Amino acid sequence: MTEASIPASTPNSPIDQLADRHLEQYVALSPTAATFMGIAGHDHELPDYTPSGFEALAELTRRSVAAAQAIEPGSPREEVAKDAFLERLGLELERFEAGVPQHQLNAIASVPAEIRQVFDLMPTATDQDWETIAIRLSQVGTALEGYRDTLLEQAGKGRVSALRQVNDLAARIASWTGADGDDFFAGLAAQAPDHAVKATVEAAAASARKAYEEFGAWLTAELAPRAPQRDACGREVYELASRDFLGAAIDFEETYAWGWEELARIETDMQAIAAGLNGGDRSIEAAAALLDDDPGRKIHGKDAFRDWMQQMSDAAVAELGGTHFDIPAEIRALECMIAPTSDGSIYYTPPSEDLTTRPGRMWWAVPNGVEDFATWREVTTVYHEGVPGHHLQCAQTMLRTDLLNRWQRIACWVSGHGEGWALYAERLMEELGYLEDPGARFGMLDAQGFRAARVIVDIGMHLELEIPRDNPFGWHPGERWNADLGFEFLRAHCRMETEFLRAELNRYLGWPGQAPSYKVGERIWLQAREEAKQRKGSAFDLRTFHSDALNLGSIGLDPLRRALAKL
């Protein structure tokens, strides 16, 4: 970033300058990241996923870490910026050296998913936009070939993801290329305008589809035979993964025990609500069925469901802004979207850097055949993905050019901070009186229980821990966790479709440490709030706490607590 391009209000200390130079160099090496962050100028490119491409990223990280370590902060704000920068990049370097980003794959967060998802965020308003899409589509084959070379190099070092993950990714690729009738690439090309550019887009989309088909076949034929059967990643890998997702080091055994206690607490609360709904019957399953069958809590059709989400989101922004939160006008726009895929995922994408080219968006990838939606389950989802959840957090961070450097605003994302905040936001809406309807509160607790179950299952399976002999459910006491027990536990405590739970289980096994980051992150946010209350005493103000905390940007949870302790 040149000095002339820095807004006058942007922090410009040595650590800020370094962080912003690092960002510019990083997006040049990772153009998909530029698109996800809303940084213009790289939409026509794809990254180099060959071994040398990954090494270039590692070398950039080494240089930036060394330079940051030599900088002496000149203010508390700069101390936070340095702490956040070194925590993220230092961990990134550890992961590179362990070969994690080079070899770890799954259906949700590895390179093939990154390439496919980037097309959801590219501009489509003009013929030039579609020409850019075609250029990027035409590079998919080269990008996947480079990634295959990296996977082969890592396999030669004995680093291959578990067989379950290789097969799951191959199946997900098949769903993108039309194996189940939902051809993402044909659908993308069909949106191109009926001008000369359409034929170019169609040809490029066909080449990208073929590249994915060939890569999926290679996974099954070549990589799968080299993949280990064992799903558990083990303690050494798990410690690195957990720190990556939380930005904090935790005691796994203590957290595992807390997960059991938290799930039992949540289900006790759900049973009390169930009794009120069911005339004394405390069955959680019966209450869920009753709510599902309530015509007043059901919406038919994807468009109608999207409109309902939009209305809920707009109301939350209007009512919370100026009362419990400061929500500037620039970030009050949030679009609720039906995603172009059908894998059941729900996610948020932040606005573009300029806050105008692309608004914040809440996405729902509705599974094929689903036309009916139970709103009691999704009230809390809107608050999680929108306001006061991800949208408030991410868009406000983007806006704070006066406090945060560019890297902090748009490149630093820590799952435990972000997902922990969003889960905290769900509970906060109950505290603020927005979940007085018993169905909505039951839905919030159902979502919380799901996240608590994930803490237990994720830590238990990857560390192959013993199931507590005195666990509150009397469930398989003394046995060791494995994938079959993980699925059985999810079935017993999560009221979701069987196939969705199977996909969830595969996600946990292929993405160690990610699933617990929601509930563990929320726990640390609640602890940080309580610590602030103790420090401030009668001067504590919840709105001020939220503003101060969010003004730090998305940082590791250990740096967050250190920074809050100084406010």
Position 394 scores a pLDDT of: 92
Question: Of 134, 95, 116, which Cα lies nearest the Cα of 215?
Answer: 116
Cβ pair 397, 428 in contact under 8 A: no
Same domain, 493 and 434: yes
Position 7 scores a pLDDT of: 43
Residue 8, number of CB atoms within 10 A of its CB: 7
Q: What is the pLDDT of residues 6-45, one digit of tens each?
A: 344 578 999 999 999 999 999 999 999 999 988 989 999 9
Residue 555 pLDDT class (50, 70, 90 cuts)? very high
Same domain, 443 and 512: yes
Q: What is the pLDDT of residues 447-474, one digit of tens each?
A: 999 999 999 999 999 999 999 999 999 9
Position 1 scores a pLDDT of: 31
Asked, for residue 372, whether it belongs to a domain, the answer is yes
505: β partners = none
pTM of the model: 0.89
Give me the DSSP letters along 244-287. HHHSS---HHHHHHHHHHHHHHHHHHHHHHHHHHTTT---HHHH
Same domain, 215 and 331: no
Asked, for residue 439, whether it belongs to a domain, the answer is yes
Q: Read off the DSSP letter of residue 321.
A: B
Residue that terminates a domain, selected from 494, 517, 540: 517
Residue 262 scores a pLDDT above 90: yes
Domain count, the chain: 2
Q: What is the pLDDT of residues 423-443, one digit of tens each?
A: 999 999 999 999 999 999 999
Same domain, 221 and 268: no
Q: What is the dihedral of CA 219, 37, 346, 457, to 10 degrees?
A: 60
Asked, for residue 259, whether it belongs to a domain, the answer is yes
Same domain, 90 and 207: yes
Same domain, 55 and 185: yes
Position 457 scores a pLDDT of: 98
Asked, for residue 530, whether it belongs to a domain, the answer is no
Question: Of 240, 248, 236, 250, which Cα lies nearest the Cα of 84?
Answer: 248
Residue that terminates a domain, selected from 163, 197, 230: 230
Asked, for residue 538, whether it belongs to a domain, the answer is no
Position 352 scores a pLDDT of: 85
- For the chain, what is the mean pLDDT? 94
Position 179 scores a pLDDT of: 85
Give SS3 for 139: coil
For the residues 45-56, what does the mean pLDDT come to?
A: 98
Same domain, 192 and 296: no
For the residues 272-301, what does the mean pLDDT come to?
A: 95
Q: What is the dihedral of CA 68, 71, 75, 79, to 10 degrees?
A: 30
Asked, for residue 552, whether it belongs to a domain, the answer is no
Position 4 scores a pLDDT of: 33
Residue that terminates a domain, selected from 230, 256, 277: 230
Position 8 scores a pLDDT of: 42
Position 338 scores a pLDDT of: 93
Same domain, 181 and 249: no
Same domain, 290 and 381: yes
Rg (CA), the chain: 23
For the residues 172-190, what does the mean pLDDT come to?
A: 92
Q: What is the pLDDT of residues 385-418, one digit of tens each?
A: 999 999 999 998 988 999 999 999 999 999 999 9
Asked, for residue 532, whether it belongs to a domain, the answer is no
Same domain, 226 and 307: no
For the residues 354-372, what does the mean pLDDT come to?
A: 88
Q: What is the pLDDT of residues 367-390, one digit of tens each?
A: 888 899 999 999 999 999 999 999
Q: What is the pLDDT of residues 58-112, one digit of tens each?
A: 999 999 999 999 999 999 999 999 999 999 999 999 999 999 999 999 988 999 9
Residue 253 pLDDT class (50, 70, 90 cuts)? very high
Asked, for residue 286, whether it belongs to a domain, the answer is yes
Helix 415-431 / helix 375-385 crossing angle, nearest 10 deg: 120
For the residues 199-223, what does the mean pLDDT come to?
A: 98
Same domain, 359 and 304: yes
Q: Return d(Cα 287, Cα 558) in angstroms, integer.
A: 39
Alpha helices per DSSP H over 98-139: 100-103, 111-118, 127-138
Same domain, 221 and 279: no
Residue 365 pLDDT class (50, 70, 90 cuts)? confident
Give the domain range for residue 116.
3-230
